[in-house]
Chains A and B, each alone.
Chain A
Amino acid sequence: MAEEFPQDLGYTAEHEWYRAADGAVGITAHAQAALGDVVYVELPAVGARVVAGTPCGTVESVKSVSEIYAPVSGVVVAVNAELAAAPELVNQDPYGRGFMLRLRAEGDPAPLLSAPEYRALVGGH
């Protein structure tokens, strides 16, 4: 994997990432490794409102299913249509082609972890 903790992202304790530049949201390299092979991603509808810290979708692997928690509050402006046919993109490129959705953030900015803070949280090296 190119980079495990990209510096330009904000992170949550539930292993989601958020890129303020384009509102993209996904799960981290740590999360995809823990989940194993992703076989299905359930995403919210475009136009849905999401609230920071509450579930907005699910990611299902062969052996388990996990909620995706919205890292910030806002409105869903796009979802990654590639994931329906290629859920493995989440494993292969979690910060790039494996992104899940894009939000237009609303309200107060959510307190996200920086890359070094998230790295410390997951004990990354």
Chain B
Amino acid sequence: MVPFAGWELPLQYGGILAEHRAVRQGVGLFDVSHMGRLAVGGPDAGRAVDRLCANDPRALGPGRALYTPLCAEDGGTVDDAILYCRRSGEDYLLIVNAANTAGDREWMEAELAALGLRAAVADQTRQTALLALQGPGAAALLRGLAGAAPAGLAPFACLEAVVAGAPCLVARTGYTGEDGFELACAAEAAPPLWDALLAAGAAPCGLGARDTLRLEAALPLYGHELSREISPLEARLQRFVHVQGRECSGAAALRRLAAEGPPRRLVGLLPEAPAIARAGAVVTGGDGRPLGTVTSGTHAPTLGRAVALALVERGAVRVGDRVAVDVRGRAAAAVVTPLPFYRRG
């Protein structure tokens, strides 16, 4: 167990490599209850989420979810989140990063107060739990415990269902690059639900596998690929930023950034074996000029080699270019590669 954002979380149950493989080939189960669950309600809830989200929630109807950055006035990222619409215009749930839960809530309340919106943000994290069931076997397993409707959800759709006796909000979402579902339930319902999912064949998976899976799929992690200093436009999230004709928080800065071209962009690197480049490693070009920094890096189990994401000067490198990455004081060769490193199917 390791400390993480004020929680105690399992790094692994049986080994990161085995858990990673279970998700890629079978079905794995993560307890992600540490993630913040913020409910937005009130007569102006629809206008509130429209203000807060850089992705456009106006097309979101009941039973749908979307991935959205939350941006500050200067276009930097306050957090990235999944927004669920439970009842249109009245009832929204935002799933945010654990370390940002309190800060996000304060930021949201300040934004809403500044606009005089009649909407409130309720932190439901402690009263609820969130389990992520991920892998090619997830749908079949869920069908066995919850029936055809939840198992047949379209991607990014959600519905209320009973899973192994526990009332849940079930969404076809995830953070692994595989098919899967996230189940939100009352906190006290989670332990028996967890047991039922394991008994049905899911492999318990921890933080270690969660990171190797998302990194193979090139999914950003706040604090690495996104931060107050890194805009979503630099982090390959352009398709989740819709600021033309909208005045969400950060819209003007994001429009300007899009028009000028963001100063940096995220690229994929394949370090030459045996080097494993890790977050913070400096990336230099052929002439020895520093180009940027590795934001995340690890050994990628599906590929059997190291992979890394790096934020570099825009225009500095193209796919196929060779760069150097500082690995413990030595220059390791790496090749710029297209993203993602892994795509299912």
Residue B298 at the chain A interface, CB threshold 8 Å? yes
Tell me which residues from 282 to 299 in chain B have a Cβ below 8 Å from any Cβ of chain A: 298-299
Contacts of A93 in B (CB 8 A): none
Residue A56 at the chain B interface, CB threshold 8 Å? no
Residue B276 at the chain A interface, CB threshold 8 Å? yes
Residue B128 at the chain A interface, CB threshold 8 Å? no
Residue A1 at the chain B interface, CB threshold 8 Å? no
Contacts of B276 in A (CB 8 A): 39-40, 60, 65
Contacts of A63 in B (CB 8 A): 11, 16, 208, 211, 298
Tell me which residues from 173 to 215 in chain B have a Cβ below 8 Å from any Cβ of chain A: 208, 211-212
The CA of A62 and the CA of B328, in the complex, are separated in Å by 16
The CA of A60 and the CA of B273, in the complex, are separated in Å by 12
Contacts of A36 in B (CB 8 A): 11-12, 15-16, 208
Residue A37 at the chain B interface, CB threshold 8 Å? yes
Residue B345 at the chain A interface, CB threshold 8 Å? no
Residue B17 at the chain A interface, CB threshold 8 Å? yes
Q: Whole-angstrom distance from the CB of A16 to the nearest CB of chain B?
A: 19
Residue A8 at the chain B interface, CB threshold 8 Å? no
Q: Whole-angstrom distance from the CB of B302 to the nearest CB of chain A?
A: 12
Q: Which 4 pairs show the lowest CB-CB distances between chains A and B?
A: A39-B299, A37-B17, A62-B16, A40-B274
Not counting A60-B299, A65-B278, A88-B17, a sample of 8 additional A-B residue pairs whose C-beta atoms are within 8 angstroms of each other reads A36-B11, A36-B208, A42-B274, A60-B274, A60-B276, A62-B208, A62-B212, A63-B208
